[in-house]
Amino acid sequence: MKQSNWVKNILITLGFIFVILMLVFPLVTVIISSLAQGWGFYLKAITTPYVLSALGLTLVAALVAVVVSGFFGLCAAYCIGKFDFKGKQFLMTLIDVPFSISPVIAGLAFIMVFGRIGWGYGILDTINQWLGTNWRVVFALPGVFLATIFVTLPFVFREVIAIMHTRGREEEEAAVLMGASGLTVFWKVTFPQIKWAFLYGVLLCAARALGEFGAVAALSKARGSTFTLPLEIDALYMSGSATGVTAAFAASSLLVLMSVLLLLLRAYVEHRVGHAGD
């Protein structure tokens, strides 16, 4: 027993050391570096037009991704969890594709579809001619939104489907036998069981959207227009100047603060998910 406690204490200590060295120290360094030239410079750095534009686009892209991925994930999880049909396993595999494909490849794939050599470009060009518009996907806001949605697509689905598999179908089938409609069954029986898992998936989706770089970088080339905050941070850092690097850390601190907020919300929702069956 003493040997077992000794091993346990060693493993716990190593775990804390690893987390502190790999996570806490780098994040603290970002905050300290962002204030290297004082509070005045920090406030000036995070309120430049480029940073404010990038921050606004990041929040909008995250919101769009949460709405689309949340709706799709909920519908897909309900369909797969409550019904039997051919191709169900194949659909689950397709939803997991963003987990296995590099975001940069996803961005390039959208370019090959909606760029000038892609089949989607001709369709979009025809629509623009009919409507007299100038809609674009590549190097425009729709491309940023599509890239963000792609990388966040599986999160809500994965959290909700796990709860649905655990709960089974007995309660819904009983409600249907008692004469309840499909919508009534969903809102009164199914959704109360999965609401915390759904919210947990939404938070994961938002966190992933805020930090996305690769897929968006492939589809975004206009600083101040289609740059999200991670891309703006990269542009500031790559400028090479001392003020540019410090400004990059200042902008990074915004992502750190938003991530900490999401982490606290996630911890609360995770706690509620763990006690959902109580």
- For the cut 70, the answer to whether the pLDDT of residue 48 exceeds it is yes
Q: Does residue 17 share a domain with residue 65?
A: no
- For the cut 80, the answer to whether the pLDDT of residue 187 exceeds it is yes
Q: Does residue 17 share a domain with residue 132?
A: no
Q: Does residue 147 share a domain with residue 43?
A: yes
**What local confidence, expressed as pLDDT, does residue 193 receive?**
86
**What local confidence, expressed as pLDDT, does residue 216 receive?**
92
Query: Which residue in 103, 91, 75, 50 sits closest to 247, CA to CA?
Result: 50
Q: Does residue 174 share a domain with residue 197?
A: yes
Q: How far apart are CA 249 and CA 252, in angstroms?
A: 5
- Can you give the C-alpha Rg of the chain in angstroms? 23
**What local confidence, expressed as pLDDT, does residue 240 receive?**
81
Q: Does residue 129 share a domain with residue 1?
A: no
- For the cut 70, the answer to whether the pLDDT of residue 273 exceeds it is no
Q: Does residue 65 share a domain with residue 43?
A: yes
Instruction: Write the burial class of residue 81 (CB in 10 Å: 0-12 exposed, 13-18 middle, 19+ buried).
Output: buried
Provide the residue range defining the domain that includes 205: 38-274
Q: Note the pLDDT tens digit of each residue in 76-118.
A: 998 888 888 888 888 888 998 998 888 999 999 999 999 888 8
Q: Does residue 42 share a domain with residue 28?
A: no
- For the cut 90, the answer to whether the pLDDT of residue 155 exceeds it is yes
Q: Does residue 192 share a domain with residue 148?
A: yes
Predicted confidence band of residue 266 (pLDDT cuts 50, 70, 90): confident
> What value does the mean pLDDT take over residues 134-140?
88
- For the cut 90, the answer to whether the pLDDT of residue 157 exceeds it is yes
Q: Does residue 217 share a domain with residue 182?
A: yes
> What value does the mean pLDDT take over residues 122-134?
88
Check if the beta carbon of residue 222 is closer than 8 Å to that of residue 91.
no
**What local confidence, expressed as pLDDT, does residue 134 receive?**
85
- For the cut 90, the answer to whether the pLDDT of residue 62 exceeds it is yes
CATH assignment at residue 238: 1.10.3720.10
Q: Note the pLDDT tens digit of each residue in 22-34.
A: 888 988 888 899 9
**What local confidence, expressed as pLDDT, does residue 230 receive?**
94
Number of domains in the chain: 2
- For the cut 60, the answer to whether the pLDDT of residue 2 exceeds it is no
**What local confidence, expressed as pLDDT, does residue 153 receive?**
92
Q: How far apart are CA 2 and CA 14, in angstroms?
A: 18
Q: Does residue 10 share a domain with residue 136?
A: no
**What local confidence, expressed as pLDDT, does residue 8 receive?**
82
**What local confidence, expressed as pLDDT, does residue 209 receive?**
94
Q: Does residue 92 share a domain with residue 16?
A: no
> What value does the mean pLDDT take over residues 255-271?
85
Q: Does residue 262 share a domain with residue 138?
A: yes
Q: How far apart are CA 66 and CA 56, in angstroms?
A: 15
Listed range (217-221, 239-243, 270-274) with the worst mean pLDDT: 270-274
